[in-house]
Structure 1
Amino acid sequence: MTALAGQPVTLDRLQPGVRLRVVQMADAEELAALYGANREYLRPWEPERDDSYFTVEGQLDNLHDLVGAYATEEMWPGVILVDGEIAGRITLNNVLRGPLQSCFVGYWVARAHAGRGVATEALRQALDVAFSALRLHRVEAFTRVDNISSQRVLERNGFTAVGTARRHIHLDGRWHDERLFERLAPWDDGIALTPPA
């Protein structure tokens, strides 16, 4: 994974100007400002955060952890760029190798970019990273059952709903049910562990 550090992933786009790249320590100030501006908007969907998380120092700590996990190939932590500015985050989490070859995806887009196809395009590009660069076989995602917008983003990218996990995540002060979605690699033939050479 580390060979991809800092390289943008750009494909023919549904939403012009959207691209992804791996997070960098230099993103701390921009991410702190973006998280701060979107704190209330993200509250229903994000884990509870201490006030320090929304500071530059808090983001430096967070980025340090993300860069470390990227270096050990546990995740692919990305930022979503719109016309070169950070507009959100997308992460391929819990990368599992061996017989699973899978990960979970999580993402968010700032309120100013919501409803414009940015998340849909960012996820499309992240799937290219997962299935091509990382050679994974499956990407999974959970969304709160009431997060219809996120479910539409997943469905537009070929994800299939698998089922519902009861009281799966504690967000915004209580436990919530979540729907599990999955997407198999386009090269899946039911036999091969990794894509053909």
Structure 2
Amino acid sequence: MINGVAMREVSPGDAAGLAETLRRNRVSMRPFEPYRPEEFYTEHGQRERISGLLAERAAGRLRPYVLIEAATGRPVGAVNLGSIALGPFRSGGLGYWVDQAWAGRGLATAAVNEVCRIAHEELGLHRVEAGTLVDNTASQRVLAKAGFEQYGTAPKYLHINGAWRDHRLFQRLLHDDPPTD
């Protein structure tokens, strides 16, 4: 736990709290997010989204986590390790966000470090990748503090806030052990 916030796997019971937190942060997150339909910001929309996340987790392709304020039980962020690939690649893709009211307190860095620990110790992944918009310096700072290095730029990588946007690509190599499967 850091600053009274704990990280745990997301559950269906998080739907209402996530919907409220996402609605409250909608404007501040818009420049960094793909288009989201109105349903995304509702409890029902989050319940459906969580159901999909948990199905991906059951298939071994995703580890979805939520950051919870210990005093209130309210979600204040999320972090996902997705696109999990085993075999010779042994990699996963990282995504995260933190409630604007909690930004700058080290929550994202702590969550990213914990997900990297899980990726290494529980999943045996070799590397974790992340991409940020080229001008998202706050997210780039999080990644740098968590030991990620930039390895490239991807032109028109993701459709964000209404247009195809360039991204900086980062990775953190976790170990150099050979694959076990």
Same fold (TM over 0.5): yes
Match of 1:119 in 2: 108
Q: Distance in 2 between matches of 1:137 and 1:113?
A: 31
Match of 1:104 in 2: 93
Match of 1:41 in 2: 28
Q: Distance in 2 between matches of 1:55 and 1:165?
A: 32
The one-letter code of the counterpart of 2:15 is: A
Match of 2:80 in 1: 91
The alignment's C-alpha RMSD in Å is 1.2
Q: Distance in 2 between matches of 1:135 and 1:146?
A: 32
Match of 1:193 in 2: 179
The one-letter code of the counterpart of 2:23 is: G
The one-letter code of the counterpart of 1:60 is: R
User: What's the TM-score once normalised by structure 1's chain length?
Assistant: 0.86
Q: Answer whether contact 1:19 1:125 (CA < 8 A) is retained.
A: no
Q: Distance in 2 between matches of 1:86 and 1:132?
A: 26
Pair 1:158 & 2:147 matched? yes
Q: Distance in 2 between matches of 1:82 and 1:29?
A: 15
Match of 2:172 in 1: 183
Report Cα offsets for 1:46-99 as digits up to 9, x if no partner: 111000110011011101100111111110011012334311110001000111
Alignment partner of 1:73 out of 60, 66, 75: 60
Q: Distance in 1 between matches of 2:50 and 2:166?
A: 29
Match of 2:14 in 1: 27
Report Cα offsets for 1:148-192 as digits up to 9, x if no partner: 00000000011010010011111111121100000011xx23x52
Pair 1:145 & 2:131 matched? no
Pair 1:50 & 2:7 matched? no
Q: Distance in 2 between matches of 1:85 and 1:126?
A: 20
Match of 1:5 in 2: none
Identity rate of aligned residues, in percent? 41
What are structure 2's unaligned runs of at least 5 residues? none
Give the 3 Å change call, closer, same or farther, for CA 118–70 of structure 1 in structure 2: same
Report Cα offsets for 1:122-166 as digits up to 9, x if no partner: 111111111111221110000000000000000001101001001
User: What's the TM-score once normalised by structure 2's chain length?
Assistant: 0.94
Q: Answer whether contact 1:18 1:121 (CA < 8 A) is retained.
A: no
Q: Answer whether contact 1:139 1:183 (CA < 8 A) is retained.
A: yes
Count matched residues: 178
Q: Answer whether contact 2:34 2:162 (CA < 8 A) is retained.
A: no
Q: Distance in 2 between matches of 1:17 and 1:129?
A: 21
Q: Distance in 2 between matches of 1:103 and 1:28?
A: 25
